[in-house]
């Protein structure tokens, strides 16, 4: 991959906005009387989280967690450590985890196990995108925005080597032929 990759739009900001609105309607239906705790997984989920919660017009709380894989590379190693931890008590809360993308599923499986041990009243997952072709562990996504192909995605929070998170669209990097 060269230093100026060619980007093509996979999901436009308009498509994302429309789907986020639909997800918010679904989430409102289940959570409006539950005062849920929404936990965003940093960094990638920050933009999705910000847009989603602006559509949720009922009492809720927000927190963030930072997870990272041991070891480098673009593949998830499956060995995850918690960086920035949660301040919010989890026990007895209705918890909804917010992710930008589920790929192998290793990161989110780790997080769901970690949270489950803290005895929430309920625990569900909302992911903007899902790449099922890459899955290595079985996983149910309760609220899903889009199923995406096995391409390297950037924008709307997603990065390539920390670049392109700011893009309003979700784009894929065109492979060199
Ligand atoms: C991305 C994404 C998920 C994880 C998904 O995070 O935000 O947390 O990878 O991959 P997996 O399903 O294969 O585990 P990343 O580690 O790139 O960090 P970032 O959110 O800070 O960009």
- Quick one: pLDDT band at residue 49, thresholds 50, 70, 90? very high
Residue with the smallest CA separation from ligand 1 atom 13 is 104
CA–CA separation, 45 vs 128, rounded Å? Answer: 9
Q: Measured from the CB, is residue 159 less than 6 Å from ligand 1? A: yes
Length of the chain: 177
Which stretches of 13-158 are assigned E, i.e. beta strand?
37-42, 61-69, 80-82, 94-102, 122-130, 143-147, 153-154
Q: Is the pLDDT assigned to residue 72 strictly greater than 70?
A: no
Cα-based angle 149, 25, 154 (whole degrees, multiple of 5): 30
- Quick one: pLDDT band at residue 75, thresholds 50, 70, 90? low
Q: Is the pLDDT assigned to residue 93 strictly greater than 70?
A: yes
Query: Strands of 61-69's sheet, edge to edge?
Result: 80-82, 61-69, 37-42, 94-102, 122-130, 143-147
Residue 124 near residue 95, CB atoms below 8 Å: yes
Q: Bridge-partner residues for 67, per DSSP?
A: 82
Predicted local confidence at residue 79, as pLDDT: 73
For residues 69 and 91, which has the higher predicted lDDT (pLDDT)? 91
Catalytic-labelled residue, pool 100, 103, 150, 159 = 103
Eight-class DSSP state of 174:
P
- Quick one: pLDDT band at residue 74, thresholds 50, 70, 90? low
162 CA: nearest ligand 1 atom:
22
**pLDDT tens digits for 124-150?**
999 999 999 999 999 999 999 999 999
Predicted local confidence at residue 4, as pLDDT: 77
Q: Is the pLDDT assigned to residue 70 strictly greater than 70?
A: no
What are the φ/ψ torsions at residue 39 (nearest 5 degrees)? -115, 115
CA–CA separation, 2 vs 161, rounded Å? Answer: 12
Q: Measured from the CB, is residue 105 less than 6 Å from ligand 1? A: yes
Q: What is the mean pLDDT of residues 72-77?
A: 56
134 CA: nearest ligand 1 atom:
13
């Amino acid at each position: 991959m060269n230093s100026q990759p060619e980007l093509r739009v996979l999901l436009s900001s308009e498509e994302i906005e429309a789907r986020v609105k639909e997800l918010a309607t679904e989430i409102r239906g289940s959570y409006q009387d539950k005062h849920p705790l929404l936990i965003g997984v940093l960094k990638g989920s920050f933009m999705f989280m910000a847009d989603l919660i602006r559509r949720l017009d009922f009492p809720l709380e927000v927190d963030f967690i930072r997870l990272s894989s041991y070891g480098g590379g673009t593949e998830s190693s499956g060995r995850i450590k918690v960086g920035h931890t949660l301040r919010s008590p989890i026990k007895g809360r209705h918890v909804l985890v917010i992710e930008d993308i589920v790929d192998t599923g290793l990161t989110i499986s780790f997080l769901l196990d970690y949270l489950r041990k803290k005895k929430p009243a309920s625990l569900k997952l909302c992911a903007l995108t899902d790449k099922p072709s890459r899955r290595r562990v079985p996983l149910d996504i309760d609220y899903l925005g889009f199923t995406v192909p096995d391409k390297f995605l950037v924008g709307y929070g997603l990065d390539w080597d920390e670049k392109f998170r700011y893009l309003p669209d979700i784009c894929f990097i065109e492979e060199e032929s």
